[in-house]
Amino acid sequence: MKNRIVKRISVVFIAGILFIGASSFRTDFFEIAKQLEIFTTLFKELNMNYVDETNPAELMDTAIKAMLEDLDPYTNYYNEQDVEAARMNTAGEYQGIGASVRIQKNSFVIVETYKDFPADKAGLKPGDEITEIGGLSVADFTDNASDLLNGAPNSQISLTYLRQGKKLSTTLTRGLVTLKAVPFYELLPDNTGYIVLSRFNENASSETIKALKDLEAKGATKIILDLRGNPGGLLSEAINVSNIFLDKGQLITTTKSVIEKYNREYFTQKEPINTKIPLVVIINGRSASASEIVAGSIQDLDRGVIVGARSFGKGLVQRPKELAYGTQLKLTISRYYTPSGRCIQALNYRERDKDGKAIRTKMEDYNEFKTKNGRSVFDGGGVLPDITLETSEFSAVTNALLANNAIFDFATQYYYSHKLESPQAFKFTEEDYNSFKTYLNKSDFSYQTRTEKDLEEALFTAEEEGFSADILDNYKQTLAEIKIAKKADLDIKKAEITTLLTDEIIKRYFFQEGLYQHYILENPEIAEAQEILNNTTRYQGILK
């Protein structure tokens, strides 16, 4: 009942306080003042006269968040706790248990534990479902898990959790958790330096420079920079990381907005570390924001070869705006563009389909741009690699497996039924893959493609409009054929699915470090990057 009331409030609220500040003066000031007065009066009357007792703070929090949902997923309201959590993420360290969690209805599922931090030392494992924290039931809480799991340094916390259906408990001591921007780097046998950059926090460029210099001192003559799964972070660090390989004064990205003061060009500000060393950057569909700025600038300026799959396409720029009482609005103010002029953003939140989902740019609407050397590159959202690999791409069935946590849950089951001695020795076999398909059958895994959805809607409309049985049967036959084809997708997309299964399983035994140790021996993207770097003719041919 409360949510329905708040939704109605938020409609008024949207008109009243959308873009207060510089942008508000683009509209009629009287209209803004009028809507604010309406909302204030409504909010006061609601809280004073509603049949049941209300919680004004909770109502307002819900109203604000409901309003922002109509814009884009990156424009968000942060209460005081949210602001602190964002600060910790940017700083790269926080006081907590050293684990990432997924919030479910009645539990917090451990997604990953960080080696040698409190959760790991207490014996928690990915897949464990935390049901009680400090004696309090998780089912009674709806806010961010960090509000309960994070806390004062050296404070103790008791947890009750389920593991494979068995109820267990533990007590751990919170501590300082440091998240490295560069969690792994190593010199490969062919003198290729391999650097993993996992986040753009305050230490991203300094840690990358340290890794590069160390690798060069050990004999590295070429570099692989791995940005797969990197969700982005600080714009300033994206500029600085690009600057490591690009001369001072190079344009890295441009931001454009209808608000003049947010139209800016960002150039490298420092002397580079190495502008000559051959470079390959690896990206995938989970490389976003700052990762795309680095990959886009390296590609547009022909400084290195991009390998993998098209990046996420998160090209909306946010800026925090301080509000009252320690709260904050993270507001989308502009869009990112690469040096050649390509827009990184993939989804258009101003145009939505009938289900309210943002429209993705169609391939026929892509625009052509030119790199420094005159190579053709295209927009359409994200950065399209120079060399695309099947193992890096996420198809419809793969995305459905991820969304349903099928890969995660199978890895949990695998962990408790298999033993592994080292990440280097692991190989996901044909038998393992058949076991995965059996697991999916038992779990009733299913998903709907966009084509199926459109056909089902068309079939419904055709029936409503009284089309003949033959036409309706054609629709039904096509839907049946699609369902058969979807079953084959598990085999057709085996390579990309196997890669994700391998990653998830190895992390269970050997953490992120073990995964990277496996990568340098078995990963097809790294193997392709090495082949390109070791073939000067091919490397230069791609860039020219």
Please, which residues have CB within 8 angstroms of residue 343's CB and are 6 or more apart in sequence? 315, 335, 336, 337, 379, 381
The one-letter code for the residue type at 149 is: L
- Regarding predicted confidence, which is higher, 406 or 481? 406
**CA nearest to 284, candidates 389, 405, 186:** 389
Stronger pLDDT, 78 or 185, i.e. the higher one? 185
Name the amino acid, one letter, at 521: L
pLDDT of residue 458: 74
Shortest CA distance to 35 belongs to which of 57, 12, 19?
A: 12
**pLDDT score recorded for residue 247:** 97
Are 214 and 360 in the same domain? Answer: yes
Q: What does the pLDDT average to over 527-543?
A: 98
Mean pLDDT of the 388-393 span = 88
Tokens of 380: 């359409």
Tell me which of 73-82, 249-258, 272-281 is least confident: 73-82
What DSSP designation does 233 have? B
Domain final residue pick, 119, 147, 178: 178
Same domain, 229 and 348: yes
Contact 318, 399 (CB under 8 A): no
DSSP 441-459: HHTT-----HHHHHHHHHH
Tell me if residue 12 falls in helix, strand or coil: helix
3-state secondary structure (DSSP) of residue 330: strand
Are residues 222 and 261 both part of a single domain? yes
Crossing angle, helix 2-17 and helix 56-68, to 10 degrees? 60
Task: Give the residue from 3, 113, 103, 104 showing the smallest Cα distance to 59.
Answer: 3
Note the pLDDT of residue 147: 67
**Could you report the per-residue pLDDT of 288-329, keeping only the tens digit for each?**
999 999 999 999 999 999 999 999 999 998 888 888 888 888
For the chain, the domain total comes to: 4
Same domain, residue pair 237 and 376:
yes
Angle between helix axes 469-492 and 396-403 (nearest 10 degrees) is: 80
Q: Which residue has the tokens 């089902």?
A: 456
Instruction: Check which CATH number belongs to the domain holding 149 and give it.
Output: 2.30.42.10
- What pairing do the DSSP bridges indicate for beta strands 129-133 and 136-137? antiparallel
424 vs 341: which has the higher pLDDT: 341
Q: 283 near 227, Cβ under 8 Å?
A: yes
Question: Are 223 and 346 found together in one domain?
Answer: yes
267 and 126 in one domain? no
Q: Work out the average pLDDT over 103-119.
A: 91
Same domain assignment for residues 52 and 132? no
Whole-angstrom distance, CA of residue 302 vs CA of residue 499: 29
C-alpha 21/C-alpha 329 separation (Å) is: 12
The terminus-to-terminus CA distance of the chain in angstroms comes to: 62
Instruction: Please report whether residue 530 resides in a domain.
Output: no
Question: 178 pairs with which residues across the strands?
Answer: 93
pLDDT digits (tens, 9 = 90+) for 225-248: 999 999 999 999 999 999 999 999
For residue 131, is pLDDT > 50? yes
| Residue 18 maps to a domain | no
Q: Residue 16 domain-assigned?
A: no
DSSP letter at 152 equals S
Give Cα 431 distance to the centre of its chain. 31
The answer to whether position 277 is within a domain reads yes
Whether residue 310 is found in the same domain as residue 446: no
Helix (H, G, I), strand (E, B) or coil at 46: helix
- 199 closest CA partner among 290, 300, 133: 290
What is the pLDDT confidence band of residue 218, given thresholds at 50, 70 and 90?
A: very high
| Angle (CA) 374 377 379, round 5° | 145
Q: Is 265 strand, coil or helix?
A: strand
Same domain for 228 and 282:
yes
Token pair recorded at residue 186 = 């190593």
Return left, alpha or beta for 92; rule: phi > 0 is left, psi -120 to 50 is alpha, else beta. left
Give the integer Cα–Cα distance in Å for 344 and 291.
11
Place of tokens 């563009």: 337
Name 113's bridge partners.
99
CATH code: domain of residue 195: 3.90.226.10
Average of pLDDT values for 264-268? 97
User: Is there a domain that residue 17 lies in?
Assistant: no
Three-state DSSP class for residue 296: helix
| 165 and 275 both lie in a single domain | no
**160 and 109 share one domain:** yes
Nearest to 24 by CA among 358, 326, 336, 321: 321
* Closest to 280 measured CA to CA, from 7, 10, 543: 543
| Host domain of residue 65 | 32-69
| pLDDT at residue 64, as a whole number | 87
For residue 110, the surrounding DSSP H or E stretch is strand 108-113
H helices, E strands: number in the chain: 17, 23
Domain identity same for 374 and 445: no
Distance CA 282, CA 229 (A): 10
d(CA 48, CA 41): 11
Amino acid letter, 331: L
What's the confidence (pLDDT) of residue 449?
67
Task: Tell me, yes or no, whether 14 lies in a domain.
Answer: no
In a domain, 168, yes or no: yes
Is 531 inside a domain boundary?
no
pLDDT band at 477 (very low <50, low <70, confident <90, very high): confident
Cα 525 from Cα 502, distance rounded (Å): 14
Query: What length is written for the chain?
Result: 544
Q: Return the active site residues.
A: 289, 300, 314
